[in-house]
Structure 1
Amino acid sequence: MLQAMRNKMHGWPSIILLGVCVFAVAFFGIEGYIMSRADTYVAKVGKHEISQQDFQGRMNELRQQLSAEQGDSFDPDAFEKPDMKLKVLDGMIDQQLLLKANEDWGVRVPDQAIRDYIAAIPAFQVNGQFDANTYRTLLAEQRKTPDMFQDDIRASLATQALPNAINASTIVTDAEIDHFLDLRMQRRDISYAVLPKPQPADGKVTDAQIEAYYKAHLADYMDPEQVSLQYIEVNGAQLKPDAAPSDADLMKRYDSEKQRFVQPEQRQVSHILVNVPANATPDQQKAALAKADKIAAEATPENFAKLAAQDSDDLGSKRQGGDLGLLQKGVTNAAFDAAMSALKKGEISKPVLTPDGYDILWLRDIRSGEAKSFAEVRDQLLAEATTGDKDRKYNEVAGKLSDTTYQNPSSLEPAAQALGLPIKTTPLFSRNGGQGIAANPKVVKAAFGNDVLAQGNNSNLVELGNDDAVVIRVAKHVPAAAKPLAQVHDEIGKTILDQRIADAAKQQADSLLARLRKGEAMAAVAASANASVKNVAGVVRVQPDLPATLRDQAFLLPHPADGKPQYAAVDMHDGSYALLAVDKVQGADLSKVPPGQRDTLRQQMTQAYGAVATEELIKSLRSSTEIKIAKDRM
């Protein structure tokens, strides 16, 4: 193509145009062929991409958390619904918006805050104290390094930084508290009369009326669909354990995992922090270093605690004279670790630049690492080995059950014979569940699922607990069917009559309410319906001796105007109605509210207002940020 153009074009303008074309093809066109890129993100927030891996990781974390909290009532299929996926993704988007705002506005999480947070996690504590060996072991089980976990904690705390700052800056005035208390503690004087149920205009129900109602409401008179099940259960507690490991086996395990039982060297450290602001200017950095140099030059073991209380910017430790307790390598950041490891007992370091600023360290003591003997940890090793063997046994049998029932989808017999497990049955039960395993929502859902009920296959492995699972199949299916009219004849007759009474009661109440609003006395109006009036003074919003429907309606009515009560007809939800009058409204006596109650309310209102402000902030960040969501990749 370029040669053809050359043959037809002459002169320097043609040469320039041709050169531009060659350049464009060479440096842009070719890139389009060799640099093609397929997007894989689930969402893109500004320039940040939320990957499918991150999204699935968050889904798995929430799935495990809810499973642990809800137990047998947990429904794993809920996480497959688009609404749930979008809700989780929205949360991740909100977190990313807050992280970007932190970056833009210079908000950061100090390393000390991360250390304090990790040290307070009960899972990492032994006898109420942070235990580094437990910390590393649990992280290893999760396939995480301390740096990875600290990054997770930093990100988690970072998403709370702005909301916490908003809460801290939220002001709830005394007037707002007074207004809330006045509404909450308001008292109302009321009068009410519960009306007797009237007789319906027509008290006879014919067979034709009953039959017509039956046909119109057939869905209300159905016997539910039911199934009974065959099932094979694998219960870890009922499996025969293998032989207990010998001391030789335990010793071999001890030798291979000896590092687990070594208490690492710990160093007792105090520090003085000179903070360096985020995005600090060169002059600010120089000023911070000069201050740190001055403190380091003055510091001695004798006055270190006093200088820390006086000059340290670490609010968490300055009250303790800068004491950070016993630390070990890997718990703090790399710069702090290196400086701590280089010191000898009693030495004070020069200023060390860390992510929080300039740190001055005083190494007060060193505790050498110690290894526990085999005798000290034998029982622990035995318990771990026994538990591990039980888990392996359960996983092995459950896996074989799953495989065998999948390979023979139309029967449980092959699996029962291969594993030596009995086939059990359940009584008939509906979609509302039944007894035994039929009380488990997972079993009910599987039993009435298309694959098991309609296709007649064995189910997948249904987990009843941590080491308890079943495979089910339908033994008997009873479709839903309408109850015979003769069986429900009297019930329908009563329903029709009750509806007529309810209609008459409403009509009567509306008529009496109209008379009240025209000015007739309540006592006279109530008496005309053979009802008596009850007067209750000082009704509050929580009053157990008053029907809830009356109490709630009493606080929905407007204040009495010009000395005239406010009236309403109230459905008592039992087929009867009541006439209600609000005669007087009294404000709260705020002098009787204890200071502690006001303080608690102020905290609650601050959190509520802060949450609303945080939502508004996130809405603002969303409106100013380009957000793309790929629903097909969720």
Structure 2
Amino acid sequence: MESFRTIIKGWLGKVLLVLFLTPLALVGIEGYFGSHNKADVAKSVNGQDIPKKDVENLTKTYKDQYLSMAHGDETILNQPFIQQTALDTLIARTVLLQQAEKLGISLSDGQIEKMLAQQPSFQENGKFSQTLYENYLRSVGMTSQALITSLRQDHALKMLTSSINGTALVSKADINQIATLQTEQRTLHLASIKLDDYKKEITVTNQEIADYYNKHQNSFKQVASVDVDYVVLSPVQVVTNAPVTDAELQQAYKAFVEKQQKDAKRDIKHILITTDARSDADAQKLANDVYAKISAGTLSFADAAKQYSDDTSSKNEGGLLAAYQAGVFSSEFDQAINSLANGQISKPVKTQYGYHIIEVSTVAATVPSFESEKARLTAEVQKSKAANAYSDAVNSLNEMVVSSDDLTAITQEVKSTHLESVKGVTLATGHPVLSDPNVKTRIFNDDVKNGDRNASSNIQLANGDTVWVKVRNYHAAGIKPLAQATADVKAKLIEDKAYQAAKAKIAQSLDAFKTQPAAQVVASSGIKFEDAGTFTRSQGLKREIERAAFSVTTPKDGFWSVTTAKLPDELVVVGVSNVNSTTANALTPEQLTELSKLYQQFRGQQELDDYTQYLKSKAKIK
């Protein structure tokens, strides 16, 4: 269920949600489901191919989402899982689309065109704008028919999934039971019995350790880990501020001026001659004729644009592209722009949209004076000189470390640095230095796995410091050997025996709670209870105590329902003196309605998942 739930909540769900609300969010849909060669097929579903490119694109989408949650740390991502999730998503999408087609769930071209015409993003002054629509198609690199096909497929998915999600049956009894479980209040009394005294009397034999280990080997799985030495170097340890000379400032100002001039705003204008209503040869001839007239001076660029350009959004603006972005038209278009000098006009450039005549005009930049920039440039030059000095120091130390394969070369050269050692570092270890993605890439690479124990070259940390690392031991993922697991097994057995011994000691008192009033048992048992208060589920209790407290039956008046919970080094006696199940009645009709909606959504997702799994079981997937 989780995989398909990811589809609904993730990329596909977002597409369905914004399908007829924000057309601009459809960017990239066609990229997922484009053309391909048979050799590039990832899977075939009932004879319909899923291209590898589609899997790669969706994998990248999922990966980017996970990276944002992982703060960019790629080392903790399970790449094979993400790729398999993407493939499963596309297989599920395919079988659902095929089923929608069998059921005749579809919109006609006319219906979709009408929906598009009603979208605010494609309207100008309350009416559909062909220009806005065409600009959108150009921006996403799609034809109108390709967009309509994608919309038809996504709308078919929306209608099919909604018909399942929205029709899940939820009874009033179900909702009442859920409300009762979530709002039920229990009054708790807790007693803590420490296990340390019991542990002193317990012994564990080697045979018991071996027997437990052999029976519970899966409990001793370990992820890959390393034992690491490292040395960190900060800029402040080796760099002092150097004075800035007038010559350096003048050179910095000169570079600043050149950059300002280079980055000056450029107006891009074009005249587009399309092949929509003419042949390619006719379009090329017309473009050459227009170019010749502009070059001869018999026609201005603006007049030529107004008279000949097929780009309705720019022809009346002298051909000006108000929001040009690289990649919108083609690489040929961008190359032509980059090759043109200020005021120069290109010969006709062919793209998928037709032939373009392009003019580039650079707006003169206003450059601040030297005096106004002096303070900022001084700080930048100082920063640059410090960075260079630090880089020189790092390079020098790096040569020492690599040549000697010894991290102490750094500590001997820079007395304020220290050699640090950490054992059992994993990919998930939170450490101020070793959890840096660049460091983890170095200490868990294939060379280390294959036996490389050499000191690393310098590694740049995110905060600007530099670290050198040396892996001393690499522990492969798998089942921990008995020799390594012995201490853990012994501690586990002693803990279990101590718990059982403590529980046996109070067993008679626990039984007494079943037949005697609680006050009488508490007085005679010697168990010291504390009134913990009244709780509902998920209200901050430790999981073990919560499970115990909400697992016992409702007690009679004056009696307690009692059980135990096991915590590290502690046995907790949990007594329940009162259960209030009427709190569900305090829920407002609005809260019950919201609970019903949530439960119906959950049931709907379950049924949709079951339906998808059924379709997949019947499909020929290879």
TM-score normalised by structure 1 residue count: 0.50
Question: CA distance change for structure 1 residues 131 and 513 in 2, over 3 Å: closer, same or farther?
Answer: farther
Question: CA distance change for structure 1 residues 462 and 623 in 2, over 3 Å: closer, same or farther?
Answer: farther
Once the two structures are superposed, the pairs formed by residues 327-366 of structure 1 within 5 Å of their partners are none
1:64 aligns with 2:64: yes
Higher-Rg member (1/2)? 1
Q: How big is each residue's C-alpha offset from its partner over 1:196-227, in whole Å with a ceiling of 9 and x where there is no partner? A: 44774685899x999x99xx99999xx97113
2:607 counterpart residue number = 613
In structure 2, distance between residues paired with 1:219 and 1:76: 18
Q: Could you tell me which of 561, 569, 575 is aligned with 2:564?
A: 569
2:285 counterpart residue number = none
Counterpart amino acid of 2:73?
Answer: S
In structure 1, distance between residues paired with 2:221 and 2:610: 46
1:505 aligns with 2:506: no
Partner of 1:72, secondary structure, is coil
Q: Could you tell me which of 94, 97, 109 is aligned with 2:95?
A: 97
1:541 counterpart residue number = 537
Gaps of 5+ in 2: 1-36, 214-219, 236-251, 277-312, 325-360, 367-390, 404-412, 476-488
Once the two structures are superposed, the pairs formed by residues 204-243 of structure 1 within 5 Å of their partners are 225-228=227-230, 243=256
In structure 1, distance between residues paired with 2:319 and 2:511: 87
Partner of 1:578, secondary structure, is strand
| CA apart distance, 1:512 | 3.0
Partner of 2:85, secondary structure, is helix
Q: Could you tell me which of 425, 430, 442 is aligned with 1:446?
A: 442
Contact 1:97 1:618 in 2 (8 A): yes
Counterpart amino acid of 1:54?
Answer: D
Partner of 1:258, secondary structure, is strand
1:552 counterpart residue number = 547
In structure 2, distance between residues paired with 1:155 and 1:245: 52
Question: CA distance change for structure 1 residues 509 and 623 in 2, over 3 Å: closer, same or farther?
Answer: same
1:44 aligns with 2:36: no
In structure 2, distance between residues paired with 1:412 and 1:495: 44
Counterpart amino acid of 2:175?
Answer: I
Partner of 2:582, secondary structure, is coil
1:324 counterpart residue number = none
In structure 1, distance between residues paired with 2:134 and 2:258: 26
Partner of 1:439, secondary structure, is coil
Q: How big is each residue's C-alpha offset from its partner over 1:382-431, in whole Å with a ceiling of 9 and x where there is no partner? A: 89xxxxxxxxxxxxxxxxx9xxx9xx999989xxxxxxxxx999954542
In structure 2, distance between residues paired with 1:76 and 1:136: 42
Contact 1:505 1:577 in 2 (8 A): no
Q: How big is each residue's C-alpha offset from its partner over 1:574-599, in whole Å with a ceiling of 9 and x where there is no partner? A: 4132142x455443255532222122
Question: CA distance change for structure 1 residues 62 and 614 in 2, over 3 Å: closer, same or farther?
Answer: same
In structure 1, distance between residues paired with 2:88 and 2:144: 28
| CA apart distance, 1:143 | 5.7
In structure 2, distance between residues paired with 1:59 and 1:445: 21
| CA apart distance, 1:248 | 6.6
Question: CA distance change for structure 1 residues 560 and 573 in 2, over 3 Å: closer, same or farther?
Answer: same
2:112 counterpart residue number = 111
Is the deviation greater in 373-382 or in 58-67? 373-382
In structure 1, distance between residues paired with 2:597 and 2:525: 51
Contact 2:105 2:159 in 1 (8 A): yes
Question: CA distance change for structure 1 residues 119 and 608 in 2, over 3 Å: closer, same or farther?
Answer: farther
Q: Could you tell me which of 245, 254, 279 is aligned with 2:266?
A: 254
Contact 2:165 2:604 in 1 (8 A): yes
In structure 1, distance between residues paired with 2:400 and 2:503: 59
Contact 1:409 1:458 in 2 (8 A): no
Partner of 2:105, secondary structure, is coil
In structure 2, distance between residues paired with 1:219 and 1:55: 32
Question: CA distance change for structure 1 residues 84 and 67 in 2, over 3 Å: closer, same or farther?
Answer: closer
Question: CA distance change for structure 1 residues 411 and 548 in 2, over 3 Å: closer, same or farther?
Answer: closer
In structure 1, distance between residues paired with 2:455 and 2:196: 57
Q: Could you tell me which of 158, 168, 171 is aligned with 1:170?
A: 168
Counterpart amino acid of 1:513?
Answer: L
In structure 1, distance between residues paired with 2:470 and 2:137: 49
Counterpart amino acid of 2:51?
Answer: S
In structure 2, distance between residues paired with 1:372 and 1:473: 55
TM-score normalised by structure 2 residue count: 0.51
| CA apart distance, 1:540 | 2.9
Counterpart amino acid of 1:178?
Answer: N
Q: How big is each residue's C-alpha offset from its partner over 1:38-70, in whole Å with a ceiling of 9 and x where there is no partner? A: 865321111211122222222223223333443
Contact 2:436 2:461 in 1 (8 A): yes
Question: CA distance change for structure 1 residues 495 and 376 in 2, over 3 Å: closer, same or farther?
Answer: closer
In structure 1, distance between residues paired with 2:114 and 2:454: 55
Contact 1:522 1:533 in 2 (8 A): no
Gaps of 5+ in 1: 1-36, 234-239, 263-328, 330-365, 384-400, 414-422, 482-491, 629-634
Contact 2:46 2:619 in 1 (8 A): yes
In structure 1, distance between residues paired with 2:152 and 2:572: 59
Aligned residues: 420
Contact 1:513 1:567 in 2 (8 A): yes
Question: CA distance change for structure 1 residues 53 and 608 in 2, over 3 Å: closer, same or farther?
Answer: same
In structure 2, distance between residues paired with 1:588 and 1:60: 50
In structure 1, distance between residues paired with 2:117 and 2:362: 32
| CA apart distance, 1:443 | 2.4
In structure 2, distance between residues paired with 1:164 and 1:197: 55
Counterpart amino acid of 1:106?
Answer: G
Contact 1:227 1:429 in 2 (8 A): yes
Contact 1:170 1:606 in 2 (8 A): yes
Contact 1:203 1:497 in 2 (8 A): no
Partner of 1:163, secondary structure, is helix
| CA apart distance, 1:370 | 4.4
Q: How big is each residue's C-alpha offset from its partner over 1:419-467, in whole Å with a ceiling of 9 and x where there is no partner? A: xxxx9999545425686653313421322323257346898999988xx
2:86 counterpart residue number = 88
2:75 counterpart residue number = 75
Residue identity over aligned pairs, in percent, reads 17
In structure 2, distance between residues paired with 1:54 and 1:493: 52
In structure 2, distance between residues paired with 1:460 and 1:133: 56
In structure 1, distance between residues paired with 2:464 and 2:455: 14
Question: CA distance change for structure 1 residues 164 and 539 in 2, over 3 Å: closer, same or farther?
Answer: same
In structure 1, distance between residues paired with 2:90 and 2:433: 37
Partner of 1:88, secondary structure, is helix
Partner of 2:570, secondary structure, is coil
1:526 counterpart residue number = 522
| CA apart distance, 1:474 | 5.7
Counterpart amino acid of 2:58?
Answer: R
Once the two structures are superposed, the pairs formed by residues 429-508 of structure 1 within 5 Å of their partners are 430=422, 431=425, 438-451=434-447, 454-455=451-452, 476-479=470-473, 502-508=499-505
Q: Cα RMSD (Å) of the superposition? A: 6.2
| CA apart distance, 1:621 | 1.1
In structure 1, distance between residues paired with 2:269 and 2:70: 37
In structure 2, distance between residues paired with 1:137 and 1:409: 56
Q: How big is each residue's C-alpha offset from its partner over 1:327-370, in whole Å with a ceiling of 9 and x where there is no partner? A: xx9xxxxxxxxxxxxxxxxxxxxxxxxxxxxxxxxxxxx99964
| CA apart distance, 1:476 | 3.5
Q: How big is each residue's C-alpha offset from its partner over 1:88-115, in whole Å with a ceiling of 9 and x where there is no partner? A: 2111110101111121112236536974
